[in-house]
Amino acid sequence: MGRLTFLDICSGIGGFRLGLEWAGHKCVGYCEYDKFARASYEAMYDTEGEWKAYDVTELRPGDIPYADIWCYGFPCQDISIAGKQRGLRGKRSGIYYSIIDLIKGKEEGDKPTYLLVENVKNLLSVNAGFDFAAVLSEMDEAGYDVRWQVLNSKDFGVPQNRERVFLIAVLRSRGGREVLPVSGEDGGALKEVIGGMQGYRVYDPSGVSVSIGANGGGMGAKTGLYCVGDAEPGGRIFVDQTLNHPKVTEVARCLIAQYNGGLTNYGNSGVLETDSAVQEARAVLTPDRVEKRQNGRRMKETGEPMFTLTAQDQHGVYLPEEVSGGAETALPVRNATKQGYDMARPGDGIVLSYPKSGSRRGRVGKGCSQTLDTGCMMGTVTKCGKIRRLTPRECFRLQGFPDELYERAAAVNSETQLYKQAGNAVTATVAYAVAMALPESRELLVRTEAVWELFDVMTKGSGDARTQPLFFLITTAGTDRHSVCFEQHQKAEDILCGRKADPTFYPVIYGAEDDADWTSEEVWYRANPSLGHTIDIGKVRNACLSARDNPAEENIFRQLRLNQWVKQSTRWMQMEKWDACAFPVDEGELLGRECYGGLDLSSSIDITAFVLVFQPRDDTERYVFLPFFWIPEENMARRVRRDHVPYDVWEKQGFLETTEGDVIHYGFIESFIEDLGKRFHIKEIAFDRWGAVQMVQNLEGLGFTVVPFGQGFKDMSPPTKRLMELVLERNVAHGGHPVLRWMMDNIFVRTDPAGNIKPDKEKSTEKIDGAVAAVMALDRAVRHGGSTGSVYDERGILSF
C-alpha cells in the first residue's frame, strides 16, 4: 500500500493539501470558487498538470478524476455562530449537497476511499442537530461509514484556540480501517456512526469556542496600527513623530498602535520615543471600541494560544513591559455581557471588532489568539498599553503555513485578501495529524523513514572516521516526488540554478528538459554523454521505436533513458494510428443509415458532444464516426484565452457550433438531434445519466430510445478496448475531425486491478467529452446493433 492521491475541493489556500502532502500523499486536482484564494493557491503550490475546476456546483461526476481521498472544508457562513445560522439550507453551506451528490453519481469503483471533511463546531448543533444528522445520513446513503471528532488547533502546535469538527468517512465496500480518534496534546469528544444514524441529538457541546475575525478593513485611525518591522524579538524600535503616522527608523518584529482607539477612557494617544525593547507578545481582540461583538476576554495571558482566526474580527498582540515601580501594564477591557472591565495584561489577546452578547466568542483571550476568521480583526496589547493588529504573515503562521508559502501568496494578493484567506483556512498542522491517522500514511511513513534512516546512516555517520570523506549519490529519475531521490535532485537543481549554495555538494545532472522531444537523437546525446561508447545507440533506437508503438512504454523510456521525472499516467491513444483512420466521411452517403448515438452532456458553461457511430454493412466497410460539438458563444473567447484551444477557429471551419448566451442552450441541442433523427436512422442514444434528466425526458418525448450508460470500469472498459482494436486495425473512419482528434489525443486511461480500463479526465483544459461520447455510441453499435427498431418505423416523423 503506497502513497494516496487526493482532490482538494473548496480548497481555499490549501490547508488540507499542505497537511496531506506533509504526510506523503499526492494532490491530483483542486476546486476553488474564489478567484483571490485560487490565485494564492496556484502561487503557493506546484499545480502544473493537475485537474482544476472553479464552481463545484457546475461539475458532473464524470468531470472529476479518480482520487483515493476527497478533502473539503465546505463554506461555513450559514453554519457559524457568527452568521445567520441558516444551516445547510443556506446557499453557501448547502454546497455540501453538491459535493455528496457528485460522489453518489460515481460508480462504486470510482468513489474515493476516504472523505476528509472540516467545518465549524456549530455544524454539530445548528438547526437543533438536524443538519448534522442530514450530513451523516447522506454519507451513509453514499456508502460511507463516518466518524467525527472536535479538534482544537492549539493542541497541534500552533497557538490558536480554534475548534473545528473533522469528519472522516470510509467507503464501506473497501473495508476501510479505523482512523479516528486523533490525539493532540488534549483529547477531543469523539462520536461515530456506522451503517446508519439513529436519533438527531448528535453532539452536546461541553465547551465554548472563543473566536476572532478578519474583516480586511479597519486600518488607520479605525484600529490605530502601525509601525511594522522585522527585527528579531529583543531588538529596539524608534519612531519619528514628525509625520502623521509613526515612522520606524529601527524596526522590530511587531506593530505599535498609533493611538488608544477608545479601548479605555484613558491612556496615551501616540507612540512614544521611549517605547523600547520588543518582548513576548500576547493575543488581543478589538481594542478600538467600547462595545465588542464577542463575549469573554479580550486579552490572553503569557503562554496562552491566540484567539481563533475568523473573518469578521480584528486580531492583535500586546507586548508586555514593566512600567515605573515594577508593576506590569494592564488594560481595563469592557465586556459585552457584564458591566465593568476585564484587566487585559501584556500578551492577552483582544478581539478588535464590535461585541455581540449572543456570540460565544470571548473578547479577551488569556495569552492566546481567538479563532482567526476572514477579517482577522484580532489584536494584542503592546508595551505601555498599546495594541496592534496581527500581520497577515502572523495569521498564516497561526494556521500552520510556512513563511515561504505566505510570501508566495502575498506576491499575488492584497493584505485584505490574505487576512480573509487565513481566517477561512484549515489549520495545516491539524490536517497533517488527521492525514497521519490514515493507515496508509502510517505504513508509508514506516517505509519512508526506513529509507531516510539508511540514507542518514550512510551520509551522516559512516564517514566520521575519515578526515575528508567523499560520498557519491548516483541515480536515474523516478516518479515519486516525495522520495529521498527527488529531494537530492531538487537540491542539485537549486545549486546549479544559483538558488542555493553548498560548497560541500557538487551536483552534475545529465537529462532532457521536460519539454524536449523525447524521440530526437540530439536529445538522447544530451542526456547520455557516453551514448555510442558504453551505451549502444541501436538499443536506444529500438527502445524508442517500441515506445512510439506502445504509449505505455513512453514514460519508462523518458524516465530511464532520458532521466526525466515523469508522471505515472500514460497517454492512451496512438495518434499516428488514429490519423491513419482519417478516411473521408460523406454525410450524404449516410442518409437513412442505421446508427447509434452517444451524448456527453456538459455543465452549462462547457462543451457538449454528440457522436453518431454507423456500423459497417459488410466486410468492405468501416465503423463511421460522425461527431457534433456545441459551446456557449459568449464564453468562447474567454475559453480560447484560458485553455489555449482554437474553439474560435473550429467554429469558423464548421467543426463545432455555438449556442446563444454564456451557457449551453439545451433546447437548441435537442432540436438539432431531432433534425438528425430525420436524416439518419438513430436506433439508440446512450447518455451519461448525470445531469441529463430533463434532456433525456425531452428526447424520449420526441420518440428517441435513450439508455443510461455508466462511467465506471464495468461499462466503459469493453468499448474503450474495442475502440483501440478498431483503430489499430484501421477499421474506423472519422474524416479527420479536428475537435474529435484533439479529444482523442487528450485521453488518459486508468486501469483497475482486474485489467479493466476507462478514460480518466485528468486536465480541465484538455477535454475528452467527444471521446467519451464516441465510446458510448460504439458500445451500442457493437453490442446492440440491429436489435432495436427505428423510432420512425413505429410512429413516423413528428410535425409541429
* φ/ψ (deg, to 5) at 403: -60, -35
CA distance 429 to 451: 24
CA distance 391 to 362: 21
Identify which of 279, 377, 278, 267 has the alpha carbon closest to the alpha carbon of residue 330. Answer: 267
On the question of a cis peptide bond just before residue 181, with omega within 30 degrees of 0, the verdict is: yes
Q: Strand runs (DSSP E) across 121-215, as ranges?
A: 144-152, 163-171, 190-193
CA 74, 79, 82: angle at the middle one, nearest 5? 120
Bridge partners for 344 per DSSP: 331
Cβ atoms of 372 and 395 closer than 8 Å: yes
Query: Which set of grid coordinates corresponds to residue 163?
Result: 475548534
Q: Which residues of 595-608 are buried (b: 16+ CB within 10 A; e: fewer)?
A: bbbbbbbbbebbbb
CA distance 139 to 104: 9
DSSP states along 437-473: TSHHHHHHHHHHHHHHHHHHIIIIITTTTSSS-----
Cβ atoms of 352 and 389 closer than 8 Å: yes
Q: At CB < 8 A and 24+ separation, what contacts does 787-795 make?
A: 788/683, 788/684, 788/705, 789/683, 790/594, 790/681, 790/682, 790/683, 791/677, 791/682, 791/703, 791/704, 791/705, 792/677, 792/678, 792/681, 792/703, 794/703, 795/703
CA distance 245 to 74: 41
Cβ atoms of 212 and 373 closer than 8 Å: yes
Name the catalytic one among 71, 76, 376, 544: 76
Task: Return the C-alpha torsion angle 113, 118, 121, 123, nearest 10.
Answer: -70
CA distance 196 to 456: 48
Identify which of 264, 388, 259, 223 has the alpha carbon closest to the alpha carbon of residue 316. Answer: 388
Return the residue matching grid coordinates 509601525: 227
Q: Which residues of 257-296 are buried (b: 16+ CB within 10 A; e: fewer)?
A: bbbbbebbeebeeebeeebeebbebbbbbbbbbeebbbbb
CA distance 284 to 351: 6
Clarify whether 31 is annotated catalytic.
no
Q: Which residues are known catalytic residues?
A: 76
